[in-house]
Structure 1
C-alpha cells in the first residue's frame, strides 16, 4: 500500500515495488495456467533462455545451453522438465540427433525451442519438416544467424490465441550486434486442461 508524506511543500507518494511474476511476466497468469517465456540468444554473448513455471530450464547459468538450437521438453500434465539439449548447426551436422531428441518426447509433452547464433547452416530439410509438423510456420525461413523461438505441443493442440513462434533475421547494417542476431522472445500462459 502506498502512503503520502510531506517533504518540504511537496507530497510524495511511496508505492511498493511490483510483485515479481513467474518467468518475469508483467502480470500473473490466471489460475490453472502455466507461465512460459522463450528468449533467443542475442549477439555473441547473450545465450538463449527458456523459462517454464518460473524454472530456468535453459539459461547461461547451466550447461544445457549452447550455439544452435536449444530445446527443453516439459511434461504437460505435471509441468516438470523431462529433458534439455542443444544442437550446434554451424560446425557439424546434428540434425539427426535433434530429430531423435524430439521424437523421443512422449505424447503430452511441450517442446520449447530457441536459437543462439546459427541454427540453420547445417539444419537438414528432414529436421525442418519434423518441426513444421509440430506447427512451426517459420522453420523453413530460418537463415544464417536468424533469431527464432518456438513453442509446440506433442500429441495435443495448443490454443490459437497464445504466442507460439517468432523469427527475426540479422541485418548487418541496422543490427546493434554487428551482424549477430538481436534477441527475440515469446511469452504467455498455457491452460492446464488441454488434455
Structure 2
C-alpha cells in the first residue's frame, strides 16, 4: 500500500510539473503575443490607414475659406430632408424642425453661423409667408433649400423670381411632387452650381407617386469682407 501511495504521489508530482512547464513555455510567451486583434488580422497600421472623416460625412474635405455642406431631400412623404453645414445638422427629423414643402436654412456667408430656418407648406400653406421670408434675406447670406413631399403647388411667379435671384436655374419648372435641393446666395451674379432637380414622372418614379431622393454635397466659398 505504501509503494502504491508513493507511485501515486510521483505521478501527481510529474503531472503538476508538466502542467507548470507547458503553462510557462506556451502561455507566458506565445499566448501573450497572440491577441484576438492580431489573430483577426487587425493591426495598428490598419487602424491608422483608415480614411479620415470629412465634415458632414462628405467624400472630400474643403479647402481653406470654403464651407462644407450636404443637402438631402425628402423621400416621398415618409422620410424627411436634412441640411448639414460645416458639420452641423441645421435641419432634420431628429431636430424636429422640418416639414412638408420647402425647408430652408439661412447662413451667414462670412462666418458660417446659422441665421434662421423656415418650413413652408407648398401644398396647402400660405405662399405669402415664403415670399416675405425670401424678401428679408440680406446680401451675403447663403440659402440652403431641401424639398419634401410637394415643393411647388402654391409657388407663384414672385417666389420663383426670388429663387432665381439667389442663383436657381430650375425653380421655373419646379412642379407638383418634384424633388429639389439647392444652395444659393443673396447677391449672386451668376447661376449657382449647387442645384439638383428631378421631375415627378410615374414612368421613372422610384416611389409610388414620388421621384427618388436627392443628395448633394460640396464646398461653397466663404464671403470675404
- TM-score bucket (shorter structure): 0.7 to 0.9
Within the alignment, does 1:190 sit opposite 2:190 as a pair? Answer: no
1:60 Cα deviation (Å)? 0.9
Match of 2:157 among 91, 113, 125: 125
CA contact (8 A) 1:157 1:194 kept: no
The structure 1 segments of at least 4 consecutive aligned residues displaced by more than 4 Å after TM superposition are 5-8, 11-14
Q: Corresponding residue for 1:164? A: 194
Shift of 1:157: 4.9
RMSD of aligned Cα (Å): 2.4
1:155: Cα distance to partner? 2.7
Considering fraction of residues, name the structure with more strand: 1
Q: Which has the higher helix share?
A: 2
Match of 2:106 in 1: 73
1:11-40: CA deviation from partner (whole Å, max 9, x where unpaired): 888733432211110121122211011111
Distance between the aligned counterparts of 2:83 and 2:132, measured in 1?
Answer: 20
* 1:193 CA drift (Å): 4.7
**Pair 1:109–1:171, CA change in 2 (3 A):** same
Structure 1 residues 82 and 176, CA, compared in 2 at 3 Å: closer, same or farther?
A: same
Report whether the alignment pairs 1:83 with 2:116.
Answer: yes
User: Does the 8 A contact of 2:165 with 2:187 survive in 1?
Assistant: no
Larger gyration radius, structure 1 or structure 2 = 2
Gap runs ≥5 in structure 1:
none
- 1:1-80 counterparts in 2 under 5 A? 15-16=46-47, 17-80=50-113
Shift of 1:63: 3.0
Cα deviation, 1:97-139, whole Å, max 9, x if unaligned, reads 1121122122221011111010111111111111112211100
- For the residue of structure 2 that corresponds to 1:131, the secondary structure is helix
When structure 1 is superposed on structure 2, of 30-39 and 162-171 the one drifting more is 162-171
Supply the distance in 2 between the matched residues of 1:193 and 1:122 (Cα, whole angstroms).
32
Question: What is the DSSP-based 3-state SS (H/G/I as helix, E as strand, rest coil) of the residue aligned with 1:15?
Answer: helix
1:171 Cα deviation after fit? 2.6
Does 1 or 2 have the higher relative contact order (CA < 8 Å, sep 6+)? 1
